Structure 1
Amino acid sequence: MTAQSELPPGYPQEWEADVVLADGMVAHVRPIVPDDTEAIHEFHANQSEESIYLRFFAPIKRLSDRDVHRFTHVDYADRVALVMLINNRLAGIGRYDRIDPGGPVAEVAFNVSDHHQGRGIGSVLLEHLADIGRESGVRRFVADVLPQNRRMIGVFKDAGYGVSHAFDDGVIAVSFDIEPTDASRAVRMSREHRSEARSMRQVLHPSSVAVIGASRRTGTVGRAFFDDIVQGGFTGTAYAVNSRAEPGTLISGHPSHASVADLEGGVDLAVVAVPAQDVLATVDECAAAGVKALVVASEGFAESGPDGEELQRQLLARARGHGMRVLGPNSFGLINNDPAVRLNASIADVGHLPSHGGLGLFAQSGALGVAVLASAQRRGLGISSFASAGNRVDISGNDLMQYWLDDEATTAVGLYLESMGNPRKFSRIARKLASIKPVIVVKSGGGGSGAGIRVRSTHERPEAFGQMLRQSGVIRADNLHQLFDVAQLVQTQPLPAGRRVAVVTNSHALGGLAAGAARSRDLEVVHGPVAVSSEAVTEEFRRVVDAALEDERVDALIACFIPPVADIDPDVVQAVADAVATHEKPCVATFLGMRGVTPGTGVPAYPTPEDAVRALAAATNYADWLRTDRGERVRPEGINRRTVHDIVESALARAPGGTDLSGEETTELLAAYGIAMWPSISVGSDEEAVEAYKQLRGTVVLKATSPLLQHQPGQGWIRTGLRHPKAVGAAYRDLDAMLAPIGAQGIALQRMAPPGSVAVDITTSEDPLFGPVVGFGVAGLPVDLLGDVSHGFPPLTDVDVVRLVSSIRAAPMLDGYRGAMPVDHGALHDLIARVSVLADDHPELASLRLNPVMAHQDGIEVLGAHARVAPAPTRTDAERRAMLA
């Protein structure tokens, strides 16, 4: 990163980004600066003759000072150049130069170091240049490439753009539009996934681990980490590093080393357990030794105050500058139970470590990490891998989900989140992961481990967060107990084929509780409750269980058994397990006093019927989501992005801090996305009202437009059904007389919507965490008083749009409530789709509200709209890959 004092005028610091390369290592992208002169000379000197010829079409041994000056002195507008740094050394350069100043076409070029070929550097630079170009009005890239430069041609073709070629005078002229396409987005996300999954694989599958700060004294954090790695049977090589230990000192029978630099063969993963003030020096030491990733267990960072926050920022910058990933600081550690690895790089007691299994777990805080692992172990649930992010300076739950997508050993995922730094990316990855593996999330109400994390907490919009999880197919749990209630079901039982359940029991009271709980969660009890006598023997209970499972109407079984005396008879548990094993239907059981998965049975047990039913309902809802077509991304026709871009630019030019758009600007903005506004004519007298009526013709309404009246429905601020000039004049005088005493000004005339219309409210706002959030509700009391609003998070699919409309409580009003005609849902869905794409395309659109929107059987009419624009925030999931700072 360039120091602030060295930045040239106009330097766009927002273009700086850390990225994960194809091999999982970290690099830094930033705009070029004049001080890069010597680095470019060195870069060029180390390139092969072939690479130089392919880039410059000539064998240039040394770049002239004039050329380097031109390369390094750019205006960041018509001439843009980015450099990529790996270990603070120049590894690649990408640039574009507009053909005409301010024009839409630019010539693009790249130069990647011979030493870093094959790491995806050219692809990353292209992504960033294209995104920067789009933001400043560039629409098309062109390039001249020699035919033998197959690697560069591949960068363009593989990016997913529609590339055209023309061969002329021994050179291939390449050109392509840089507007994102479905193909280019798919390529970007696929590359991001592979890079981040590979990065996490390096963290979880090291061949060597060094614990820096391993002490001779037991009870210390460093010693606990080292002992757990050794006693856990790590299949690689473990090193104890302690700069204060005497030469030849043994720690847990292993020789102690003064520095990680003394270790022959290098180290893949380092656990840092030194005082906070020594961490930065330790990071530099690890970088020099070639360490790929760090687990920072040390405390004293953002959780401790402003000085700790600054130290944490330096830790991140230092580690990423060296290309390393960081788990922590203040991390409880990580675990990989793969028998080929057996890594317990944590302070979890080996004797209470969960066995190898299919559950991947992530927790932010260290204290919760202990509780998570303890809960899994008590319930008999095996885990595949685990990580505690601590202050989450770098590695997050998103990174782990990328890894778990490909990890065959992981069959379900549990996440305990205190906060979320990138909800848009979380939603995208979680939806993909949930389509193949259950994802269970607990979101606490806290703000996280450090001040930097609290800023990014999502608890300010809990209703939106919950709807985002549902849109993504994620199973939400209220606490850790519920997370494991669901996990033990989805880990041991098939998913339900439907919502029909059977209830069998040896207690009428338990059966009634189970049936009532099932119905309250929209499960249909089609069999039972069947209750045998309280003294029934095992075989009798087995028979009713078999009968329930053999019933073709039944999709799942709820079995409740209370022992007549003392403890549960193991034979009863085994009998239920044997019966369930012969059917492809899930079973949840309540055996008094038991919780977890009984060894050897595979039947998940719960202490109460309500717990069992809650878990079953969650699994059933997830199974329903899996079976539901998730649709195609909405792509309305007739969109003109350039028009909106110009409107926004013009508005922000006159008000750089943000401004409301005028009525004319709002109408033009909406028209660019195929949304027609009904004309509204402001009038200042009864004569003007009559003249406006003659322009509009037909039936009209007269309404007050003062913002003072926005949230005062039902007060008579509107006059409807006006069909005659005299009626219009009288209505104006009457309304004006009502407004004058309260100081409200503004009256407008507009055509009246068809009879039977339902007024709906459609909004979008740019959230600092979620990005664009689309809201929908029936206008008036349902929205204003009851808060009956559904939320969607673009990009939306057609199924998302339908669900947005159908999920509000007032949805029956749109379907022909009490004999009314149903509204045109197709037109309503199209309007919401257009609003969602408008918001997704233009982050400068701070807010937009369409109200009233009149939906009726023949279509939809937008009668009013208010739009505000502001400088675009930095979205956490943009069109170019970048790690959060």
Structure 2
Amino acid sequence: MSETAAYPVAWEADVVLRDGTTTHLRPIRPADADALQRFQVNQSERSSYFRFFAPVRRLSDRELALFTHVDHVDRAALVAVRTSPEDPGTQDILGVARYDVVEPGLAEVAFNIADSVQGVGLGSVLLEHLAAAARERGLRRFTADVLPQNGGMLAVFRDAGYDVRQHLDDGVVTVSVDLDPTERSRQVMADREHRAEARSMQALLTARRVLLVGPGPDTGVPGWAASALLAQRVLDAAAADPGDTELFVLDPPAAPGPDARHVPAWDDVPAVDLVLLAVPAADAVAAVRRLAGTGARGVVVLSAGFAETGPEGLERRRELLRVAHGLGMRVVGPASWGIVTTQPGARLHASLAEHPPAPGVVGLFCQSAPAAVTLAATLVRRGLGVSAIVSAGHRADVSGNDLMQYWHDDPATKVACLYLESIGNPRKFTRVARRLAAEKPVVVVVAGRSGQVVMPGHAVRATHAPRALLDELLRQAGVIRAENTHQLIDIAQVLAHQPLPRGGRVGILASSAALAALVAEAAAAHGLVVASSSDFLAPERSADDVERVVESLYAEDACDAVVVVDVPVVMERGDVVARAVAQAAARTGRTTVVSVIGLHGMPDELAATAPDGTQVRVPAYSTPEDAVAALGKVVAYARWRERDHGAAVQPPGIDRRAARRLVTAALAAVPAPERGEPWGEGVETSVTLDGAAAAELLACYGLRVWPVRRVPTAGDAVAAAAALGWPVALKTASPTLRHRTDLGGVRLDLADAEELREAFERMRAVARAAGLDPLLEVQSMAPTGVAVVVRSVEDPLFGPVVSFGLAGDAVDLLGDVASAVAPLTDVDVHELVRAVRAAPRLFGYQGAPHADVDAVEDVVARVSVMADDLPELASLELYPVVAAEQGVSVLHAAVRLRHAAERRDPLRRVLPG
């Protein structure tokens, strides 16, 4: 056995299982011997036979020592543990997964899952995490011997999405699993993650037996007032909907009231679904520990006083999550405003809201409790109903990603709205939001334009990404970005009560020519086209006049959407226009928004019945600009829904294993930072590859760098040119002048030895005068074309950020660079290349030849795959890449590698911790 490695703390993780409960995964420890024995004793004879091919009842002392003492390199094991309901001070093992190396790159694996949790997906979770640990140790394949009767274990391997081979020999099925991730394995993981996280949210949002834990009136802590208020709110909701919620109160701040059951002590707590925790932060962890055995699936923490208070508070938050996840529970909060669900027969009012919104189809997720108060009040004021509101406070565990997973399959939710103070896992957010947006609209407000503001209490990695990257990330995902909470509700009004428009042609109905012109200008600013405009409604309009104009505007194929602005100047507003527009919108299904003086939100005056009997409401706005802005956002989303979003790029000719070997070898002599040290840019943890090593690594991804020769003398330069082929380019090796033709750092089209010698002496003099390295390089001339730059940077928060731009000072100075987060689809790559303002230069600008854009896209695609595969790729720059009429030439590459911190969206399911 190899020398024992340090305990791999990074392998620890909290995960959600298929039934929505949580468990903790970690490497096995010698101290687990007793727990492992209890696990084995409780296994059925059938399960023991499947694991050991014999009915093993108990493990011998030798076996216990063998199984619990591992080196975490050639022998490793992960256990899934959960706090014992009988003894909160101990952990029960739910499952074990182990590997033993049998030859370089190959390990034998075995799994053993407790009978009590078989069928909840624990085997597949353990395989994901064990495979990730094995890849980290340089393993590439697993092999396992499985009895044919063990269909569950065979299914774990077969359904994981990896490349799997199996054969039957002497009554035993030998399974071989290739550990390299595939598109199918990624999709399988995402599908399982979706189902598990959605189920965990369903358990919270359908809770019926609720326990409120308060600090009590005699403790002298401020939390008792919030506890009293919360108790009253829950009681009021229970009274309004008898039978929906059963409330139990422990340590009440006041008499719990006739509709609540007072629980005198912790030992008397009955089985419950959800716990509302209003105790001081210092008491929260102990309170959650006392919930062992209650069956609670979630805990809503109203208290603040965690990560926002400093390192001690952050550790308190981490301990809270460890304890809750160890009991199978999700955590909402800290500093949560609560949860509201509104579906008839399943209402839950576990929040501080005095008047919760009415039932509706909008799902609202909000991090900030103050913002939740404002949004809830706005919803009530505008008459816009919700399916649920969840306030996650500091988002320690439950996040917008979880709610989007749930809303994807929730028939009661038609629109997903999120107010985000921070995005802790942008890659997962993009992946989940993109999946949801393909089915239902997703509207998002992010605090601050860049999304890089870290609010107190939020544990979020710093980012070095461009400030515009968040806009691109949301655009990639098909998310509708609202500028503020006001616009968030504006957009939700359209999406909740109007059909998606078929296009961007707008018809205008206005009560004056000036208003019509104003609406037309606003429409153009939001990418809409005015298809028709009304006869302007005169102050003395009759019902017949209104009906005639409205019918004309709603004629078949007259437009795709209608904007109505009615602001009478002389006479008071009547309801003639509102009724006519509402009836026409309901009858035709034409997307309609209005700005009518005196109407706001979802008023009854703008309600009508459609031919199928459903009620349709037209949203009303305070100003025409608000109405058009909301409509413009919805039209853009409808266009995104109709487009092909492409498939993940999979360029041919990629050798991932060779690339992994090169990266491992390059970093072998570079010290890795200790766990807990900042994930920074220090040179002590990174290495810059020389030209040959960089070219070799890029070749693994089908990227050929044109050969270059460094030349110390003019004679060497001539010899290099003869070997490479005339004509040649001469460049300084210094990064400062490498691309600066204007400063004498580059000479092109040198056709003979005399020209080259002269250029050599001049450029050496230029370099010396600038105090730079006088070393020069010779390279064959590439075909002429448009020079572009392709870069990748591993960002601590966003992960692999791929950028594209055209080469040149003007482009750099103007910041004309487009960025996206890998992995990319072919459509993403197509749009990235065209997103820069200088892109017309690639398409024959002012008569120039067209560049081979397909070849450019192929380079970008290969860089995106490389960046996604290799988190150690700290930075990559291909500059210049010359795009000729046929093909591209990569003339220079700079590659820097660094020991990688785990990405926020790893190739394994994991909860925040």
Q: Return the TM-score normalized by structure 2.
A: 0.92
Distance 1:840 1:245, change over 3 A: closer
Q: What amino acid is aligned across from residue 142 of structure 1 in structure 2?
A: T
State whether residues 465 and 798 of structure 2, in contact with CA within 8 Å, keep that contact through their aligned partners in structure 1: no
On the 8 A contact 2:215/2:251 being kept in 1, the answer is no
In structure 2, the partner of 1:290 is 295
- Please identify, of 566-575 and 472-481, the stretch whose mean Cα deviation from structure 2 is larger: 566-575
Identify if the C-alpha distance between structure 1 residues 244 and 594 changes in structure 2 by more than 3 Å, giving closer, same or farther: closer
Q: CA deviation at 1:546?
A: 2.2
Distance 1:454 1:93, change over 3 A: closer
TM-superposed deviation, 1:79: 1.2
1:825 partnered with 2:825: no
**1:343-354 pair list within 5 angstroms:** 343-350=348-355, 353-354=356-357
Q: Distance in 2 between matches of 1:749 and 1:170?
A: 65
The one-letter code matched in structure 2 to 1:475 is I
Contact 2:309 2:457 in 1 (8 A): no
1:131-183 deviations in Å (ceiling 9; x for gaps):
22222222221111112212211211121233322222221111121222222
Is 1:627 equivalent to 2:642 in the alignment?
A: yes
The reply on whether 1:397 has 2:400 as its aligned counterpart is yes
Flag the 1:145–1:857 CA change in 2: closer, same or farther, 3 A: same
| Contact 1:563/1:569 (<8 A) preserved | no
Letter in 1 for 2:664: E
Shift of 1:306: 3.5
2:757 equivalent among 723, 729, 749: 729
Unaligned runs of 5+ in 2: 84-90, 608-616, 672-684
Written as runs of structure 1 = structure 2, the 5 A alignment for 1:576-595 is: 576-595=581-600
Cα distance in 2, alignment partners of residues 153 and 596 from structure 1: 56
* Aligned position for 2:844: 816
- Bigger shift: residues 464-473 or 157-166: 157-166
CA displacement, residues 408-455 of structure 1 (integer Å, 9 cap, x when unaligned): 000001100000111111000000000011000000128778645153
Residue identity opposite 1:440 in structure 2 = V
Alignment of structure 1 residues 687-702 onto 2, 5 Å: 687-702=715-730
| 2:34 equivalent to 1:38 | yes
> Does residue 715 of structure 1 match 2:743?
yes
Residue identity opposite 1:643 in structure 2: A
Please tell me whether residue 60 in structure 1 is matched to residue 56 in structure 2: yes
Partner SS, residue 424 of structure 2: coil
The separation in 2 between residues aligned to 1:412 and 1:325, in whole angstroms, is 24
Helix, strand or coil at the partner of 1:99: strand
Aligned equivalent of 1:650: 665
Give the SS at the match of 1:636: coil
> Does the CA contact (< 8 Å) of 1:771 and 1:875 recur in 2?
yes
Displacement of 1:278: 2.1
1:211-250 superposed matches below 5 A: 211-213=212-214, 220-233=225-238, 235-243=243-251, 249-250=255-256
The superposition leaves residues 688-743 of structure 1 with CA deviations (integer Å, 9 ceiling, x where unpaired) of 22222111223221122212336867323211121121111111122222221111
- Name the stretch that deviates more: 690-699 or 538-547: 538-547
**Does 2:825 match 1:797?**
yes
Q: Is the 8 A contact 1:19 1:883 kept in 2?
A: yes
| Distance (Å, rounded) in 2 between the aligned partners of 1:699 and 1:497 | 57
- How far is 1:530 from its partner? 4.4
* Farther-moved stretch of structure 1 (875-884 vs 236-245): 236-245
Give the corresponding residue for 2:382: 379
Q: Hey, what does 1:4 align to over in structure 2?
A: none
Q: Measure how far apart 1:597 and its partner are.
A: 1.9
Q: Equivalent residues in 2 for 1:443-458 (5 A)?
A: 443-445=446-448, 451=456, 453=458, 455-456=460-461
In the alignment, the residues of structure 1 paired with residue 873 and residue 168 of structure 2 have an alpha-carbon distance, to the nearest angstrom, of: 42
Please say if 1:80 is aligned against 2:76: yes
Shift in Å at residue 244 of structure 1? 6.5
Pairing of 1:52-451 with structure 2 (within 5 A): 52-87=48-83, 88-100=91-103, 103-213=104-214, 220-233=225-238, 235-243=243-251, 249-251=255-257, 253-264=259-270, 266-350=271-355, 353-445=356-448, 451=456
CA distance in 2, matches of 1:137, 1:456: 28
Change (3 A) 1:315 1:496: same
For 1:790 and 1:700, the matched residues in 2 are separated by 32
Change (3 A) 1:606 1:237: closer
Farther-moved stretch of structure 1 (320-329 vs 223-232): 223-232
Q: State how far apart, in whole Å, the 2-side matches of 1:488 and 1:416 are.
A: 16
CA change 1:201–1:458 in 2 (3 A) is farther
The question of whether the paired residues in 2 share the 8 Å contact of 1:501 and 1:557 is answered with: yes
Distance 1:703 1:282, change over 3 A: same
Deviation of 1:566 after TM superposition, in Å, equals 6.4
RMSD: 2.1
Could you say if the C-alpha distance between residues 555 and 46 of structure 1 is closer, same or farther in structure 2, counting changes exceeding 3 Å? Answer: same
What's 2:680 paired with? none
In structure 1, what is the Cα distance between the partners aligned to 2:739 and 2:623? 46
* Aligned partner of residue 792 in structure 1, secondary structure: strand
Q: For 1:504-535, what per-residue CA distance to the aligned partner results, in whole angstroms no more than 9, with x for missing partners?
A: 21111111111111112221112136423344
Deviation at 1:544, TM superposition (A): 2.2
Q: CA deviation at 1:121?
A: 1.2
Report how far residue 254 of structure 1 moved: 3.3
SS in 1 for 2:748: strand
Of residues 735, 749, 752, the one that matches 2:781 is 752
Q: What secondary structure is seen at the aligned counterpart in 2 of 1:604?
A: coil
Give the letter for the 2:195 counterpart: R
**In the TM superposition, what are the counterparts of 1:829-868 in structure 2 within 5 Å?**
829-868=857-896
* 8 Å contact kept, 1:421–1:457: no
Kindly state the Cα deviation for residue 110 of structure 1 after the two structures are TM-superposed. 0.3
Inter-partner Cα distance in structure 1 for 2:633 and 2:587: 24
SS of the equivalent of 2:668 reads helix
Which residue matches 2:805? 777
For the Cα contact (< 8 Å) 2:599–2:621, is it kept in 1?
yes
With normalisation by structure 1, the TM-score equals 0.95
Q: 1:621 to 1:225 in 2, by over 3 A?
A: same
1:41-69 deviations in Å (ceiling 9; x for gaps): 11111112221111111222321211221
Mapped partners of 1:313, 1:219: distance in 2: 24
Q: Gaps (5+ residues) in structure 1?
A: 1-6
> Which amino acid in the other structure matches residue 397 of structure 1?
G
Change (3 A) 1:503 1:864: same
2:194 & 2:792 partners in 1: Cα distance? 29
CA contact 1:214–1:240 (8 Å) conserved in 2: no
The residue number in structure 2 matching 1:741 is 769
1:327-351 Cα offsets, whole Å, 9 max, x none, are 011100011111121111000113x
The question of whether the paired residues in 1 share the 8 Å contact of 2:308 and 2:458 is answered with no
Residue of structure 1 in register with 2:653 after alignment: 638
Query: How far apart are residue 92 of structure 1 and its match?
Result: 0.5
Structure 1 pair 865–553 and aligned structure 2 pair: CA distance change class (3 A) = farther
Cα distance between partner residues in 2 of 1:632 and 1:83: 36
Tell whether the 8 Å contact from 1:261 to 1:289 is kept in structure 2 after alignment: no
Q: 1:175, 1:8 → 2: CA distance?
A: 27
Residue 105 of structure 1 deviates from its aligned partner by: 1.6
Name the CA distance, whole Å, in 2 between partners of 1:50 and 1:244.
Answer: 49
Distance 1:393 1:38 in 2: 32
Please name the residue that 1:562 is paired with: 567
- Mapped contact 1:84–1:91 kept (Cα < 8 A): yes
Give the % identical residues.
Answer: 46
SS at match of 2:292: helix
* Counterpart amino acid of residue 67 in structure 1: E
Partners of 1:514 and 1:613 within 8 A in 2: yes
Please say which of residues 131-140 and 610-619 is displaced more in the overlay. 131-140
Whether the aligned pair in 1 keeps the contact of 2:416 and 2:442 (CA below 8 Å) is: yes
Shift of 1:537: 3.5
